[in-house]
Amino acid sequence: MTAIFPPPSSAAAERLLSPEELEAALREIGAKRYHNLHPFHRLLHDGKLSKDQVRAWALNRYYYQAMIPVKDAALLARLPEASLRRVWRQRIVDHDGDHEGDGGIERWLKLAEGVGFERDYVLSTKGILSATRFSVDAYVHFVSERSLLEAIASSLTEMFSPTIISERVAGMLKNYDFITKETLAYFDKRLTQAPRDADFALDYVKRHAVTPEQQRAAMDALTFKCNVLWTQLDALYFAYVAPGMVPPDAWQPGEGLVPEKAVAPAAGAAGTGGIGAGDVPRLPRGVRMRFDEVRKKHVLLAPERTFDLDDNAVAVLTLVDGQRSVADIAARLAETYNADRAVIEADILVMLNDLATKRVLER
Ligand SMILES: O=C(O)c1cc(C(=O)O)c2c(n1)C(=O)C(=O)c1cc(C(=O)O)[nH]c1-2
């Protein structure tokens, strides 16, 4: 059978390359095989996918994100020196975080929630394509079983990721109205983490691949990893773009999503048409109240927008905690200010619905 990707010129493997030549050969592998070249990524970045196709990407890639620290823990366990382990363990911290709610996996969950998924559905991984699972698991096995040099070399795809990440974030923000900077926050940190990790791994590979066989093994490991990434996109393309054959058990559009009503509350109407006294208002993800020290004013910070708040709004928003209903908040304020509860309730309903129409409050 003809290989789709011919191996890189074997002439290079026949003699010992200088470290610089080895780096050039590794970079050439990325230039030919990295997943930025895959048609699915081209469609994703150019805004050519439907919301459901973007969802399929976010859902499947969650499995990759979730398994990366498992892969790194397997690699860490094989590192013989404390100095190496100290460096490599940072990767696990980057993905798992130092505490609940922190780290790359959590940020990817936010991305998946940002495109509409229920968090628990994503965590269950039950809708991911088998091909995603197979290729990601193959990466974990590769790193556990091959030589340390090959294991480290297989992470070198990260040399190429900053370029694709910048292109992806810019493209998706420009081309999809349902994508926000907040949703893509995962990628912000990767822009500094990936070059740091790739520099270390590249230096290790250049110093430890000192025979033609080892250099060939390092190149093959990088090729393997490019294929791990590529096959995940092949599977997405086949299932969700063309011919559009979703395998049994894999995610079907509509499954595992937060009901639309909860994502975009019916608060678009002006006045008191959206939020009622019995509703529980909350600040949407990415919106926070802050005290601006320079202007000595409270403001509501939303992605790329800021709203000045008057004292009444501050008093109300201080009590908006995602638990209290509007009626609870009104009762609390009526007590504090010794005022008529019904009057306060009517006033704050107007205020809250005004904020809801500006999309800085939801229920
Ligand atoms: O967005 C991307 O295109 C992309 C690519 C890669 C990569 O090249 O392997 C990684 C990531 N992202 C990433 O976020 C990440 O944490 C990561 C870890 C690794 C690895 O092999 O250890 N690759 C990547």
DSSP per position, 74-140: HHHTT---HHHHHHHHHHHHHHH-SSTT-SHHHHHHHHHHHTTB-HHHHHHTTTS-HHHHHHHHHHH
Instruction: State both tokens at 199.
Output: 């520099």
Residue located nearest, by CA, to atom 5 of ligand 1: 161
Cβ distance 81 to 222 under 8 Å?
Answer: no
C-alpha 314/C-alpha 320 separation (Å) is 10
Contact 62/122 with Cβ under 8 angstroms? yes
Contact criterion met (CB below 8 Å) for 222 and 154: yes
Q: What's the pLDDT score for residue 231?
A: 98
Atom of ligand 1 nearest to the CA of 157: 8
Burial 232-259 (b: 16+ CB within 10 A, else e): bbbbbbbbbbeeeeeeeebbeeeebbee
CB-CB contact of 85 with 79 (8 Å): yes
Q: What is the whole-number distance in angstroms between the Cα of residue 293 and the centre of ligand 1?
A: 39
d(CA 122, CA 127): 8
How is residue 325 written in tokens?
């209903």
Per-domain residue ranges of the chain:
19-241, 288-358
Q: Which of 161, 163, 169, 225 to mutate to test the pocket of ligand 1 (most atoms within 8 A of CB)?
A: 161
Q: What is the structure's pLDDT at 342?
A: 57
pLDDT in tens, the chain (363 residues): 444 555 555 555 589 999 999 999 999 999 999 999 999 999 999 999 999 999 999 999 999 999 999 999 999 999 999 999 999 999 999 999 999 999 999 999 999 999 999 999 999 999 999 999 999 999 999 999 999 999 999 999 999 999 999 999 999 999 999 999 999 999 999 999 999 999 999 999 999 999 999 999 999 999 999 999 999 999 999 999 999 999 999 999 999 999 976 444 444 433 334 666 676 888 887 787 777 776 667 667 776 666 567 777 778 778 888 877 777 777 777 778 777 565 565 566 556 655 665 578 788
Atom of ligand 1 nearest to the CA of 190: 14
Among 233, 238, 169, which residue's Cα sits nearest to residue 33? 233
Q: How far apart are the C-alpha atoms of 142 and 154, rounded to whole Å?
A: 9
Which atom of ligand 1 is nearest the CA belonging to 95?
16
Report pLDDT for 312. Answer: 76
H, E, C per residue of 81-96: CHHHHHHHHHHHHHHH
Residues with CB under 6 Å of ligand 1 are 68, 104, 155, 157-158, 161, 164-165, 190, 229
The first and second tokens of residue 65, run together, are 């994100």
Contacts of 337 (CB under 8 A, 6+ apart): 344
Burial of 342 (0-12, 13-18, 19+ CB in 10 A): exposed
β pairing state of 288-292 and 305-308 = unpaired
Distance 24 CA to ligand 1 centre (A): 20
Bridge partner residues of 174 (DSSP): none
Record the pTM. Answer: 0.72
Topology of domain 288-358, CATH: Arc Repressor Mutant, subunit A (1.10.10)
ipTM of the complex as predicted: 0.95
| Homologous superfamily of the 19-241 domain (CATH) | Heme oxygenase-like (1.20.910.10)
Scanning the chain, the segments in alpha helix (DSSP H) are 11-14, 19-33, 39-45, 51-76, 82-96, 104-114, 119-124, 130-145, 148-153, 161-175, 186-208, 212-236, 260-263, 311-319, 326-337, 341-357
